Amino acid sequence: MTRRTVARTLVYVSLILATLVVLLPLTVVFLTSLKSSEEMANGSGALALPDDPLNLGNYVTAFRDGQMLSAFGNTAIILVVAVGGTILIGSMTAYAIDRFRFRFRKLVVVLFLLAALVPGVTTQVATFQIVNSFGMFDSLWAPIALYMGTDIVSIYIFLQFIRSIPVSLDEAARLDGAGAFTVYRKVIFPLLKPAIATVVIVKGINVYNDFYIPFLYMPSEDLGVISTSLFRFKGPFGAHWETISAGAVLVILPTLLVFLFLQRFIYNGFMRGATK
Amino acid sequence: MTDTTRKSARPVPPAAPAGPERAAAAPRRTRLTRGLTPWLFLIAPLALLLTFTYAPIANMIAYSFTDWDGVSPELNWTGTGNYTELLTRSELFEVFFVSGYYLAASVVQIVAALYFATILSFDVRFRNFFKGVLFFPYLINGVAIGFVFLYFFQDGGTLDSVLSLLGVGTDHAWLGTPFSANTSLAGVSVWRYTGLNFVLFLGAIQSIPGELYEAAEIDGASRWHQFRYIIAPGIRPVLSLSVILSVSGSLSVFEIPYIMTGGATGTETFVIQTVKLAFQFNKTGLASAAAVVLLLIVLAVTWVQRRVVPDEKVDLV
């Protein structure tokens, strides 16, 4: 009995330790974002509480001077177009592969499968030249096209899901005179809603957080997305940790809200996305 | 031919035979359009796939045999020169040792994830809170994480303050020496990615039917035995997936070191080096050769993993 109690205590101790490890760095940055530059200069220590817990001055500076408004705008545009495109591309591919038998079907499947094994970071050297030759370099189109065109995981998610939709539904629609496109639009697409939700969440979070692609393809300052705009804080705000912290909190906050409201969907989404 | 793959893929193929038979029974005109229809749906996806995945690979292999600088119209065929340079100039290859830190970190990460997934699959108070806390770092923007930890490791930052609170005063420059810097960065990577492994393991453990535990409990099995004989076999597929993701992830680390140190003090990784070669020094040829080497290594690792742990559920369409 006592052994069980000891074990139970150890379990809770380890959980509390892990919670501290996760939350402490974030909390300190949040506290720092509320401090004034004088407080920072006094060197009261990273763990000290801010004098004025409602001091939002740093957020104003970060938002205005860090061009966070246009960054959120650009991110939103890319997010909506790329996620919308991914849903169309993924569902169309899944529909064609799962519901039709045609010549070279196997080859097409293998092409999509192999592509999933190629890590995107490795090929950017050459992808860059192609994007450049289309004149998409330094425009919002570069990340949009790349997010849309290289997402194999979403195709998997749609494929898995479309298999569970009975073919008899397609057939019934066809007997009523519907063509392949009508079946896709009126029967399959509406039934894919759970898969679409998964893709929106997984893809949305990935796009929101991506740094590599916007950093490589959109060097212009007015094309900054939240990752690259935040990254630029490093220069002008140099040692102004209170401003940098405010910028980081501004970027983390939307993620936290989405996570709190959509927790269940997010766990399921990432589980499906990773184990494809 | 197609039908066999389909059956092996789907354990329950209730509607599987619909395809071919239907097409054969249809009149000639419909069969023709049937043949074209799937391609109408596939044009856009295939075009994107070929343009942004396969064309770059082909080009990259071609560039890797030239001395192209990425801008000028002329380029010279150099044979395997780039590969020889890559293998003989030791400083170009040394970056792979940095991956060792991240590889070691991913062992820590998987063990920690496994531990927390196991204890949280049993009845624990505030379960959802702990689950959320452990997973949340995975969702945070990489640049924000970089800044959070730059402040964490800073002189007089979070870590130093905590240590002095515990009575361990130190003025160690955490990002100052290659060993310390790489260890710190690898630690950040554990902080960031443990949550994903944890949620994957937890999902796998929870899909094990509960009666198994009850039966084991009645038979007097300890928690360790339950883990050893029920949980461990149940999560094998996810575990092997996590291992492969960690290996290829360790080889292609970019964000955290690039944001935090820019590759200074010996923290340069293979991808940082490749990006610098290609976009700062305009050595597209050499960078392509480097990328080809990385691609081959990642593919080899994947292949080995598929051989060692044959996928139980081969669900390739």
Asked if B119 and B290 touch (Cβ cutoff 8 Å), the reply is no
Q: What is the pLDDT of residue B18?
A: 41
Q: How confident is the model at residue A264 (pLDDT cuts 50, 70, 90)?
A: confident
The torsion region of residue B154 among left (phi > 0), alpha (psi -120 to 50) and beta comes to: beta
Q: What is the mean pLDDT of residues B122-141?
A: 92
Q: How confident is the model at residue A275 (pLDDT cuts 50, 70, 90)?
A: low
Question: Mind listing the pLDDT tens digit for each residue in A115-171?
Answer: 877 877 888 888 998 999 999 999 999 999 999 987 888 888 898 899 989 999 999
Name the class of domain A68-219+252-275.
Answer: mainly alpha
Strand partners, B66: B77
The torsion region of residue A117 among left (phi > 0), alpha (psi -120 to 50) and beta comes to: alpha
Question: Mind listing the pLDDT tens digit for each residue in B74-94?
Answer: 888 888 888 988 888 887 878
Q: How confident is the model at residue B33 (pLDDT cuts 50, 70, 90)?
A: low
Question: By the CB < 8 Å criterion, does B60 face chain A?
Answer: yes
CA distance A63 to A84: 28
Mean pLDDT is highest, among A2-6, A197-201, B90-94, B309-313, for A197-201
Cα A72 to Cα A158, A214, A232, B134: the distances in Å are: 29, 13, 14, 27
B179 in the same domain as B42: no
* Percentage, residues of chain B above pLDDT 70: 86
Question: By the CB < 8 Å criterion, does B96 face chain A?
Answer: no
Question: By the CB < 8 Å criterion, does B72 face chain A?
Answer: no
Question: By the CB < 8 Å criterion, does A190 face chain B?
Answer: no
A125, two tokens: 């050297």
Give how many domains chain B has, as a whole number.
2
B256 pLDDT above the threshold of 60:
yes
Return residues 120-139 of A near B (CB < 8 Å).
121-130
Per DSSP (E only), the strands in chain B are none
Q: How confident is the model at residue B1 (pLDDT cuts 50, 70, 90)?
A: very low
A199 pLDDT above the threshold of 70:
yes
Q: What DSSP character marks residue B266?
A: T
- The number of C-alpha atoms within 13 Å of B109 and in the hemisphere containing its C-beta is 30
The domain spanning residue B209 has which CATH number?
1.10.3720.10
Q: How confident is the model at residue B26 (pLDDT cuts 50, 70, 90)?
A: very low
B315 pLDDT above the threshold of 70:
no
Return residues 10-69 of A near B (CB < 8 Å).
11-12, 14-15, 18-19, 21-26, 28-29, 32, 43, 45-47
B10 pLDDT above the threshold of 80:
no
Q: How confident is the model at residue A188 (pLDDT cuts 50, 70, 90)?
A: very high
B118 in the same domain as B209: yes
Residue B317 domain-assigned (yes or no)? no
Cα B234 to Cα A147, B221, B314: the distances in Å are: 34, 17, 16
Question: What count of CB pairs under 8 Å joins A to B?
Answer: 276
Backbone angles phi, psi at B10, to 5 degrees: -105, 120
Q: What is the mean pLDDT of residues B26-50?
A: 76
Q: What DSSP character marks residue B177?
A: S
Question: By the CB < 8 Å criterion, does B41 face chain A?
Answer: yes
A91 pLDDT above the threshold of 80:
yes
Asked if B59 and B280 touch (Cβ cutoff 8 Å), the reply is no
Residue B289 domain-assigned (yes or no)? yes
Residue B314 domain-assigned (yes or no)? no
Q: What is the pLDDT of residue B28?
A: 46
B41 in the same domain as B6: yes
Inter-chain residue contact A130 with B51, CB threshold 8 Å: yes
CA distance B315 to A138: 39
pLDDT, averaged across chain A: 88
Backbone angles phi, psi at B66, to 5 degrees: -125, 175
Tell which of B63, B81, B109 closes a domain.
Answer: B63
Question: By the CB < 8 Å criterion, does B68 face chain A?
Answer: no
B254 in the same domain as B139: yes
Backbone angles phi, psi at A61, to 5 degrees: -60, -50
Inter-chain residue contact A117 with B302, CB threshold 8 Å: yes
Q: How confident is the model at residue A82 (pLDDT cuts 50, 70, 90)?
A: very high
* Containing structural domain, residue B31: 2-63
Question: Mind listing the pLDDT tens digit for each residue in B104-115?
Answer: 999 999 999 999
B27 pLDDT above the threshold of 70:
no
CA distance A213 to A234: 19
Inter-chain residue contact B148 with A167, CB threshold 8 Å: no
Residues of B in contact with A95 (CB under 8 A): 41
| Sign for the pseudo-dihedral over CA of B38, B42, B44, B50 | negative
Inter-chain residue contact B35 with A103, CB threshold 8 Å: yes
B232 pLDDT above the threshold of 80:
yes
Q: What is the pLDDT of residue B3?
A: 39
B211 pLDDT above the threshold of 80:
yes
pTM: 0.86
Q: Which residue has the tokens 């500076």?
A: A61
- What residue ranges do the domains of chain A occupy? 2-55, 68-219+252-275
Q: In this complex, which of B46, B142, B160 lies closest to A108 when CB atoms are compared?
A: B46
Q: What is the mean pLDDT of residues B259-287?
A: 89
A25, two tokens: 């760095």
Inter-chain residue contact A119 with B275, CB threshold 8 Å: no
Cα B312 to Cα A263, B70, B248, B309: the distances in Å are: 30, 44, 21, 8
Contacts of A61 (CB under 8 A, 6+ apart): A243, A246
Backbone angles phi, psi at B77, to 5 degrees: -70, 125
* Percentage, residues of chain A above pLDDT 70: 96
B56 in the same domain as B134: no
Q: What is the pLDDT of residue B144?
A: 96
